[in-house]
Amino acid sequence: MRSSTGNRPRADRPRAVRPDADSSRADSSRADSSGAGGEDSAPAGPGRDLPPLLAGAATGIAACGALLALTDSGSPLRGPCALLFLLAAPALAIARALRGLDLFGRVITALAGAVALDMLVAETLLSVHQWSVTGGIVAVAVLSLLILLATGVRERAGRARGRAGPGERPSEGVKQAKVS
């Protein structure tokens, strides 16, 4: 009877490597492990590159939507692609600022924040009687870039303030706690 882990090595045992073993056979056995008991945490198989590919495609479609809206194109794709830009640009900026949350909470909060930002921009442009599609796209893009910029500045300031990484000494102003 097979064990529940199959032929995968246990995490607490080091892998034995024979000097005469074929290196391609060792690489293929390592690639067959799904990450549960193996050393690699990335899933094996043809779908492992799909999320970055989909993110890149969505970014390209959103950028095309903004370009179509800014150039006042008569394409039927202008509306859906511009809507994707209006949701994706602020959502990605807000999601980057909320790195401490788990994935589900970050996605829901970022989408809600994107809708709120879009509504705020539309309400502001309508209240000053300056509504235009181009103005809305530009305002959302500028606010999204400002959120990204503020997040980057905050992360750099946090690193410079003395959060020491592994193997680094903390800066002079940081006191270390004594463990007794």
pLDDT attached to residue 23: 46
Query: Where does the pLDDT of residue 84 fall: very low under 50, low under 70, confident under 90, or very high at 90 and above?
Result: very high
55 confidence band (pLDDT: 50, 70, 90): confident
- Dist. CA 171–CA 157, nearest whole Å: 13
When pLDDT is averaged across residues 143-150 and rounded to a whole number, the result is 95
pTM of the complete model beyond 0.95: no
Each residue's pLDDT tens digit, 124-142: 999 999 999 999 999 999 9
Give backbone dihedrals phi and psi of 51, rounded to 5 degrees, phi first.
-60, -45
Give the range among 17-31, 33-47, 107-121 with minimum mean pLDDT. Answer: 17-31
Residue with more model confidence, 47 or 167:
47
- Of the two residues 47 and 80, the one the predictor is more confident about is 80
Which alpha helices (DSSP H) does 16-160 contain, by range?
Answer: 23-32, 50-70, 78-97, 103-127, 133-160
Q: Specify the higher pLDDT residue, 82 or 166.
A: 82
pLDDT digit string, tens, across residues 148-176: 999 989 888 888 886 644 444 555 555 55
